[in-house]
Every structure is written in C-alpha cells, then in structure tokens.
Amino acid sequence: MRHKNDDRNTNARRELIRRAKQRKERSGRRGLRKTPPRPRRPEQEIREYRAILRDVRRAMEREIRDRIFPEVDGILEEAGTREDSERREDGWSDTIRDLFVSTRLALSETENKAKEKMSVIGDRVGSRATSEQVKQIRAVLGVEPDFYNEEKVREQLNDWKERNGAFITRFADEEIEAAQDAVSRAIRSGRSSKEVQKELRKRFGISDRRAERIARTECGQLNAQITRERQRELGVEKYRWRTSADERVRDAHEAINGQIFSWNEGPALTNGQHPGEPINCRCVAITMVDDLLEELESE
C-alpha cells in the first residue's frame, strides 16, 4: 500500500475519483487544465469586515463628540489650574468616568448589529473558500467534489464568529478606555479644550490602520482554515505556496513562492503558518492535484 495515511480514503475522495473516472471514460481529458487556477482571496469579505469596524468607530466618534466634547470646558473648570488639579482630581475624574460609561452604553445597538454582520461575513468566507476549492478541482478533474464533513467546518465557523463577535466588544471597550485615558491625561497636564479634542481625534486615526490589519488577518485565517479542511477531506495533503506576485510581498513569502508544503507542517520560514495565516498575508494555497490525478490514471 503506497498511501500510509488513511485520511486519504475519505468518502469525498472516493466519490470524486469515481465520478472523474466516469467522465474520463465518456470524454477523455481533453481541454482540462494540468494545474488548478489561482483561488480568489476573500477580498470582498475583508472590505465588509473593515466596514464593520469603521461603523463601530464612527458611532464611537459620534457619541464622543455629542456626549464628551460639550462637557470638556466644564471639566476643565472643575479640574482648575495645573497647580491645584491633583488635589481636586477626585471630582473631575468621576465626572469623566460617568461620561464615558454612558458613552459606552450608547454603543450597544451598534455593537449588536456589528456582531450580526460579522456572523454573515464568517459564513461568506466559508462558502467562498469552499467554492474556490470546487473550482480548483473542477478545472483539473472535470467534475465537482462533494463535501460531507460539514460538522467540522461548522465548528470552525462558530469558533470564528464567537471570537470575532467578542472582539467587537473588546474593540469598543478598548477604544473608549483609551479615549478616556487620553482626555484624563490631557486635562491633568493642563491642556485647553481644543487640545483635548485634538487628542481624541488623533486616537481615531490609529484605529483605522489597525482595522485594516485585523480584517485582513481574520478573514485570511478563516479562509486558510476552511481551505485546509476541504483539501484534507479530499485526501489532499499538500499545497503549493503562491504569493500575490506584487511588490508588497514580504521577502520570506517570496522565498517560498512556488514551493510545496504539507498541511501537517507549514514552512519553517513562516513558523509553520499556511498561506493567508500570517498577519496581512495575501498568499494562497494551490491544491496539489498530482496525487488525485495519479489515482485517476491508475487501473
């Protein structure tokens, strides 16, 4: 027995090979590709994920502008001059805390909507990863695979939804906390009302870049995870690493471009991470079909 791993002998693989053989008998392999096309990354979902974080942040900006900004002058007055601010800190820091608590509460509805949208994005990334896998197989074997291992995939999707939903809460918590710290610091160091507002606006710029990185990494990792699951269900244990082939590709990923790796053990250069898993990674895993083709040609 050449195949030592029983994972290869799945229903999905047996069924796929059976249908591919039927097709071959009927029509030969004319017109089929030798290697699968490059799968598409979940760019649409990444944009939607980013939009969710932007919505949350905008709501936060709005609430801070409406609830905090009008109070800054009063708080500055309460805090007094720089000399006696320490003595009187109790009063104004309670005021700030109360203001930010109500600001955070006002974000609940936005937060819940964001979580619902997040769940939809998870499902879309999952079905895109699956349909891209189907396309890769169809291009080479001429037939589409069926997948039966839905339970495992659903589990992965649920984990992702839960984690990313919880992230929305944490995102709002952290941003509000950071804004509160920024205001407190500015007041403590005797800043003017304008300077306090400027300090707050600066915070939102930082979140923008962070949102982009998080969206890309989270969608990329889920995409990689489902792709891996689908390929393994077809008994495919290896993939070819493909970069996006532009100037933004990092050196380590350029170095392994085109090389073959096992799903059991990713490249040492990426610490074992698979395409799409490293932060901001735009690389993809091309299905290694050689082994499927070999089985198709046998007998």
Determine whether 5 is exposed, middle or buried from the number of CB atoms within 10 Å of its CB (0-12, 13-18, 19+): exposed
| Contact criterion met (CB below 8 Å) for 231 and 152 | no
CB of 46 to Zn ion, least distance (A): 14
Tokens of 274: 């698979």
Q: Which of 40, 39, 51 is nearest to 215 (CA)?
A: 51
Q: Which is nearer to Zn ion, 154 or 213 (CB)?
A: 213
CB of 249 to Zn ion, least distance (A): 6
Q: C-alpha angle 114/115/119, rounded to 5°? A: 115
Supply the DSSP symbol for 152.
H
CB of 43 to Zn ion, least distance (A): 14
Q: Which is nearer to Zn ion, 90 or 247 (CB)?
A: 247
Q: Quickly tell me which residue has 């950071």 as its tokens.
A: 178
- Is residue 189 helix, strand or coil? coil
Name the H helices within 142-250. 150-188, 193-233
Q: Which is nearer to Zn ion, 128 or 282 (CB)?
A: 282
What Å distances lie between residue 148 and 12, 15, 118, 160, CA to CA?
A: 7, 11, 25, 20
Residue 143 backbone dihedrals phi, psi, to 5 degrees: -130, 160
CB of 278 to Zn ion, least distance (A): 6
CB of 119 to Zn ion, least distance (A): 27
Supply the DSSP symbol for 81.
S
CB of 120 to Zn ion, least distance (A): 26
CB of 236 to Zn ion, least distance (A): 20
What does the binding site for Zn ion look like in residue numbers (CB under 5 A)?
253, 281, 283
Q: Which is nearer to Zn ion, 125 or 284 (CB)?
A: 284
Q: Which is nearer to Zn ion, 200 or 283 (CB)?
A: 283
Q: Which residues contact 163 (CB under 8 A, 6 or more apart)?
A: none
CB of 210 to Zn ion, least distance (A): 19
Tokens of 213: 């990185």
Bridge partners for 240 per DSSP? 260, 286
Q: Which is nearer to Zn ion, 68 or 281 (CB)?
A: 281
Q: Which is nearer to Zn ion, 139 or 255 (CB)?
A: 255
Q: Which is nearer to Zn ion, 186 or 226 (CB)?
A: 226
What Å distances lie between residue 79 and 14, 66, 99, 188, 201, CA to CA?
A: 75, 21, 15, 8, 22
